[in-house]
Amino acid sequence: MMKKEVRGFTIHYGWIVMAMGMLTAIGAHGFGRMAYTLILPSMKDGLHFTYAQLGLLGTGNFIGYLSLAIIGGFLAAKFGTRIVITLALVLMGMTMIITGLAQSFGFAFGMRLLTGCGNGAAYVPAMTLASAWFAKKRRGLATGIVSAGIGVGTLTAGFIVPYILNFYGAEGWRFSWYYLGVGVLVLAGVVYAFIRNHPAEKGLSPIGAEEGDPSSIRIEETKAKGLQWGSVYRVKAVWYLGFVYFMYGFS
């Protein structure tokens, strides 16, 4: 099997893919979503928004996130995780930069809506990478690595944004969006360069997969069978987890 040699150690490419998933979470959630609360006070003063308008900007972002989160998995299954995540991050980066040019509420709302769309389309497929690259018994660890990107991104933004706000003064909120947007675009380039949809593309089996393990089936065989969504919706655990996550978002 093909593996990557790094300083004398053999590393399965799946770990690199998980690192790319983590970078996706850093950009999608940490920079594109969580940093908003840090920029919000200065943005309010600069554009003379009311608190109601600030709340609606956040609502627009969540509407976009919900819309693409619902179909993000479908898009990844049809076009490939690599393409969907990359394009979603590019959308986020561009709209975040353009948000810094906002002069009106309607324009800012539209950009936050599109940023939310990119957020949902990037993060949801990133969370599914573990299913392709890891056997069932190892997927919890892999998913945790991707999820850790949310905290890392939020922490990073927490260090960067206050410095930008102080350095640029009244226009600091605009430059915060510029810098964060460029950061997301850079992450999009890195992710595109290294992420892969399935171990078969590297001639590998999922990490932890044993001979005869269903998770070691190559992606071509999976596509040939098609996606049987009716079977998925009949699984009670799917509805239970969906309800739990709905309440998480509601809170």
- From 97, 64, 101, 82, select the one nearest 20 (Cα to Cα): 82
Distance CA 159, CA 192 (A): 26
SS3 4: strand
Q: Residue 191 pLDDT > 80, yes or no?
A: yes
Cα–Cα distance between 58 and 52 in angstroms, integer? 10
pLDDT digits (tens, 9 = 90+) for 130-171: 888 998 888 888 899 999 999 999 999 999 999 999 999 999
pLDDT of 71-118, one tens digit each?
887 888 889 999 999 999 999 999 999 999 999 999 999 999 999 999
Which pair of structure tokens corresponds to residue 234?
């009949």
- Whether residue 12 is predicted with pLDDT greater than 60 in this model: the reply is yes
The CATH class of the 4-250 domain is mainly alpha
Q: How confident is the model at residue 196 (pLDDT cuts 50, 70, 90)?
A: very high
Nearest to 100 by CA among 172, 160, 29: 172
Higher pLDDT, 73 or 181: 181
